[in-house]
Structure 1
Amino acid sequence: MDVDTGIDDALAILYAIESKQLDILGITTVNGNVPLDYVTKNTLKILSLAGENDIPVYPGAVEPYLREAVHEFKVHGNDGIGNALDDMVVTKPLEDTFAADFIIESAREHKEELTLIMVGPLTNLALALKKAPEIKDMIGRVVIMGGVVSDAGYGNMLPTSEFNIFADAEAAKVVFHKGLDITLVSLDVTHQVMMTDEHVEKLKGTKYYDFVKDATDEYMDYGLRLYGKRQCALHDPLTVGYVLDPNLLETKACHVDVETSSPLSYGQTICDFRGLLGKAPNVKICLGVDSGRFLEDFVEKLGG
């Protein structure tokens, strides 16, 4: 898992762990929702909350591939996880290996058995592909939370752009054009999986209730301002959900490129639905989601 641990990344990590279905080789961190030192500390805290001491954490890129960093404090709070674990002391050590190098090592060792779950900007993977381009033929699949395709105009950074791609569009462009098996879990489907206070209350009395309630409070207030209802999109957990159960999403292979020049649409994921460019499909985009089944499974897994 490659994360920029804000609130939904934290929930995705817990969901992945509690699914008991994944062999998580490691977690790599990347600058994104908040600066890298916050991201890494948040990731260690979430693993501690889960009682998970065996998953190594590899710190990654401090800044984007080319551009200046942008962050989302207004959504994720001052520390990235709504200050929900302020009193927790981190004791788990970090790994010495740089995140991109760990991706390279994992690809060489596990080859097609390796799935990369990317729920932050794609800087670490772009750096890995730059250093060792041969790994593009080794990695099994890459599942990315990012972009907005069919619902262009409903972005969350620019009208046409989603945060993870916008935060490092150059890195995304590199990754999209390397011939990897990519599925893009975009805002088109993640905006259909909204967690409400009712979902949170179903966790009452369970291990993660206090964290989920505290962490999502400000996130839900942001949703209230944006949608007129207290709710928050489970962007990153849905990406994990697709890895657990591919039948959750309806996908279609298309040619997708990333805009890196226009100030009006920087970071836009442009999908050639009609094949006007005459280029081969390089990304599986998402056209539909079984939101009810996903939300039920997510709450059930976190509830233990």
Structure 2
Amino acid sequence: MEKIILDVDTGIDDALAIILAEESGQLDILGITAVNGNVPVDTVMTNTKKMIQLMKQDSYTVYRGASRPLVRDAFHEFLVHGRDGLGGALAGMEVEPGDPQLFAPDFIIEQVKKYPGEVTLIMVGPLTNLALAIQKAPEALKKVKQVVIMGGLVQKAGFGNTLPTSEFNIFADAEAARIVFHAGLPVKLISLDVTTQTFLTREHIEQLKGTYYYDFVLKSTEIYRKYTKEKLGMDGCALHDPLTVGVVLDPTLVKTAKYYVDVETKGELSYGQTICDFRNLLKKEPNVEICLDVDAERFVEMFLKVLGKKEVR
């Protein structure tokens, strides 16, 4: 099984990504690292522990990471995920207090050193933890197998979800993203260009009725689906973070190509924009594998099949 570290800012789609990673049975989850993002890092820690409890797992440790971006003030997305980050779905669940002493970036460094060339980092939140790890141990991080990132927007400028040209995870810490993109690591970017095509509708959710995760998926996505309905007129939500896990499970879900990609960190209207040099105008070596297309229907089918196989007991 592929060894992975999941780096999350656990809101709703992070939670669904965690379930997909676990229930797929194909991934060796070395640990989960928490980062400030959709909600503050304290809430991320609580939510991630709740997900582990929901999945009836006790073998995963959650490592606390960065509580703020490298340079800017913290930015959150309560409108999409609710104040608690999970749309109130697990409001009554209690989790054990206390966290490991090891800082999340240090855990990433430790595992990449321990398993050189074997660890895939699945990053579905802002990239602060990885940027801090790179700054501390740049040569060690080059031993990572691959870095698969949910973030950015490269082909559809104007269709961002934070600024017109910017996606939330990159916008939330663009300086960190820039460090990661230029660190010489094998980066694959799962951007809004493809994640917005993987749409979970209310009808899809009903296919899970009678299975273990039905109630959680229905309740947790309620606020997210309401937000989407107000914005797009559709009752559903994009599976941004789950697709990122899905691409690790099955790389053929997406069509990719490698280009030079940089991150805007200064523009008032374009902060956090991921700029892809499709025409090689900058004459720089490609550094990021981007997604050009996705088999969205096949991925949604995979997602429903994996979550639906767990029965209520």
Q: Give the alignment's TM-score, normalised by structure 2.
A: 0.96
- Describe how 1:211-250 pairs up with structure 2 within 5 A: 211-250=216-255
Taking only the aligned residue pairs, the percentage that are identical comes to: 61
Q: Which amino acid in 1 is paired with 2:171? A: F
Residue 113 of structure 2, aligned match among 95, 108, 117: 108
Does 2:198 align with 1:193? yes
* Matched residue SS, 1:20: coil
1:117 is aligned, of 107, 122, 125, to 122
> Which residue is equivalent to 2:10?
5
Report the AA paired with residue 42 of structure 1: N
Q: Does 1:79 align with 2:80?
A: no
Q: Deviations over 1:231-265 (max 9, x none)?
A: 10000000000000000000000000000000110
- In structure 2, the partner of 1:303 is 308
Residue 94 (structure 1) shift = 2.8
Question: 1-side partners of 2:116 and 2:243: how far apart?
Answer: 24
- CA displacement 1:259-298 (0-9 Å, x = unmatched): 0000110000000000000000000000000001100010
Contact conserved, 2:109 with 2:141, CA < 8 A, in 1?
no
> Contact (CA 8 Å) 2:133, 2:141: kept in 1 or not?
no
Residue type at the aligned position of 1:224: K
Task: Report how far residue 212 of structure 1 moved.
Answer: 0.6
The CA deviation at 1:137 is 2.0
Unaligned runs of 5+ in 2: 1-5
Indicate the residue corresponding to 1:134 in structure 2: 139
Shift of 1:226: 1.4
CA distance in 2, matches of 1:150, 1:66: 27
Q: Is the 8 A contact 1:44 1:92 kept in 2?
A: no
Of 265, 271, 276 in structure 2, the residue corresponding to residue 271 of structure 1 is: 276
The one-character-per-residue Cα deviations of 1:149-185 (angstroms, maximum 9, x if unpaired) are: 0011100000000000000000000000010000000
Q: Please, which of 89, 96, 113 is the counterpart of residue 91 of structure 1?
A: 96
How far residue 92 of structure 1 moved from its aligned partner, in angstroms, is: 7.2
CA contact (8 A) 1:3 1:28 kept: yes
Number of residues of Structure 1 aligned to a counterpart in Structure 2? 304
Alpha-carbon separation, structure 1, partners of 2:140 and 2:72: 25
- 8 Å CA contact 1:249–1:290 kept in 2: the answer is yes
Secondary structure of 2:221 counterpart = helix
Summarize deviations over 1:111-130 as a string: whole Å, max 9, x none.
11100000000000000011
Secondary structure of the 1:26 match is: strand
Contact conserved, 1:136 with 1:179, CA < 8 A, in 2?
Answer: no
Please state if 1:60 is matched with 2:75: no
**AA aligned opposite 2:20:** Y
1:252-267 superposed matches below 5 A:
252-267=257-272
Maintained 8 Å contact 2:187/2:288 = yes
Determine if contact 1:256/1:272 at 8 Å carries over to the other structure.
Answer: yes
Of the candidates 168, 171, 182, which is equivalent to residue 166 of structure 1? 171
Q: How far apart, in 2, do the equivalents of 1:95 and 1:201 lie?
A: 38
Which amino acid in 2 is paired with 1:188?
D
Query: Aligned-pair RMSD on alpha carbons?
Result: 0.8
| Residues 169-223 of structure 1 deviation map (CA, whole Å, 9 limit, x = unaligned) | 0000000001000000000000100001011111111111111100001100011
One of 184, 194, 199 as aligned partner of 1:179: 184
> Given the two structures, how large is their TM-score scaled by the length of structure 1?
0.99
Amino acid in structure 2 at the alignment position of 1:186: S
Paired letter, 1:247: T
